[in-house]
Amino acid sequence: MGYLERAEKMGLDTAALKRGETVDTTILVTSLEEYRDLFAPDIPDEQRSKFSKSLQSKSFLAEKRYYNADQMFKLMDYIYGTHSLTDDERSFSKHLFPVRVRVTAADNLEVTTDMSEGPAAAPWVVNAGTLTFNGGSLTAITTQFTLSADNLVVIRGGTNTYHVGIMGAKGTVGTTGATGSSYSSAAAQGDNGGEASPGICTSSHVGGTGGTGGAGGTGATGGTGANGIANLPATITIRAWDPSNISPFVVATMSGEGGQGGTGGTGGKGQNGGKGGKGCDSGCEGENGGNGGGGGAGGDGGAGGKGGNGTDGNDIFVYFPSQYATMYQPTSQSAAPGAGGTGGNGGEGGSGGAGGEGGKHHDNGVSGSPGRTGQPGISGDSGSSSGAPGTLNFVPVN
């Protein structure tokens, strides 16, 4: 089936295509069968069996991070694999349609920039008579994708190291830990100096030293980074290869890397030291005011959160002329776990308490020393596992 027949089947403006225009539009797919025919046509039984077997081993199956995840995976296995739907699964699928699908089509579609869809964009169909890469690339990030070209011309790529990339999305960064506890009031004030008897102050009636401030609380540990999000399955169909091409056709895939752990919480502020007590002040005599208490140490920063794990990728089907198989270059990369989060900053030390007022002809107390800044938190651990890339299944076209 040529690109015009495919375009007509999708209800595109074939007259515009024949005039050499590029059609970039949205269509409505109304049923699961129509969707399967659009995104996974003509997959051989052997390849479907491989997909179903591979799907059962994927790390993301156990997460079930999505609503109705089990049913969605069954539908994926039906579209690309060998799963036979139950009546309940078919009934569930009817609630998902219609689905809006982006379609980019042209008689001669020249890719001169790095075009990208996603993360989690509407499914994307690229349909071309001749597809020419001349300084650009196509990337689908956690987005269902299918590409069909009757002929492929590769002049040069774009800034990416591939022509078509089927990618996952990095997990989100963990939340920042809460700030450590602090104090709403200063430490206790020192005792005021009394008087031995009216008009008499002795050295024992110096103002008392203010209380030392308490340490601020330790910041909370940062949240764990989210696991990566897998690339979605894709089909890439090239029916003919221009023999004048010198450069190979590069298809790349990497699933979602783990998100970085969250930053640890900042340590709480140390308590301010208590004010020194007032010195004795009676008649013509007085004593010195008490010294202010030392400020409390700032709380230590919380540890950074653990990084999320990389997620296994979904498989991809690449149909390519068998005669030019050496000009097809698949490349894949594991999805790395996320780095641990940065430790939180130490909290600010409390201020020293003010010195107490001195009695008649005597000095005020000395202000207390400020508390030290808390220690920074330690970095979090990296995620514990990488995500294996999906398999780029080569399907020869004769």
Three-state secondary-structure class, residue 73: helix
Residue 282 within a domain? no
Cα-based distances in Å from 229 to 59, 104, 310, 326, 383: 11, 25, 8, 31, 14
Q: What is the pLDDT of residue 395?
A: 94
Residue 166: pLDDT over 90:
yes
Residue 374 within a domain? no
Count how many domains the chain has. Answer: 1
pLDDT in tens, 194-242: 876 777 887 668 999 999 999 999 999 999 999 999 999 999 999 999 9
Is 82 within 8 Å of 40 (Cβ atoms)?
A: no
Residue 356 within a domain? no
Supply the DSSP symbol for 56.
T
| Nearest Cα to Cα of residue 362 among 279, 293, 258 | 279
Query: What's the rounded Cα separation, in Å, for the pair 205 and 315?
Result: 84
Phi, psi of 48, rounded to the nearest 5 degrees: -65, -40
Residue 59: pLDDT over 80:
no
Give the pTM. Answer: 0.86
Please name every residue paired with 236 in a beta bridge, in sequence order, or none if there are none. 147, 318
Residue 75 within a domain? yes
Q: What is the pLDDT of residue 58?
A: 80
pLDDT in tens, 110-137: 999 999 999 999 999 999 999 999 999 9
Residue 141 within a domain? yes
HEC letters along 328-378? EEEEEECECCCCCCCCCCCCCCCCCCCCCCCCCCCCCCCCCCCCCCCCCCC
Is 38 within 8 Å of 101 (Cβ atoms)?
A: yes
Domain that holds residue 99: 3-175+228-262+309-340+385-397
pLDDT in tens, 311-354: 999 999 999 999 999 999 999 999 999 999 999 999 999 999 99
Residue 232 within a domain? yes
Residue 112 within a domain? yes
Within a 13 Å sphere around the CA of 135, how many CA atoms are in the beta-carbon half?
2
Is 40 within 8 Å of 51 (Cβ atoms)?
A: no
pLDDT band with cut points at 50, 70 and 90 for residue 268: very high
Residue 360 within a domain? no
Strands (E), the chain: 23-29, 99-111, 114-117, 124-134, 137-141, 145-156, 164-167, 234-238, 249-254, 281-282, 285-286, 316-321, 328-333, 392-397
Q: Which of 63-72, 345-354, 383-392 has the lowest mean pLDDT?
A: 63-72
Q: Which of 56-70, 103-117, 173-187, 253-267 has the lowest mean pLDDT?
A: 56-70
Phi, psi of 234, rounded to the nearest 5 degrees: -150, 155
Residue 66: pLDDT over 80:
no
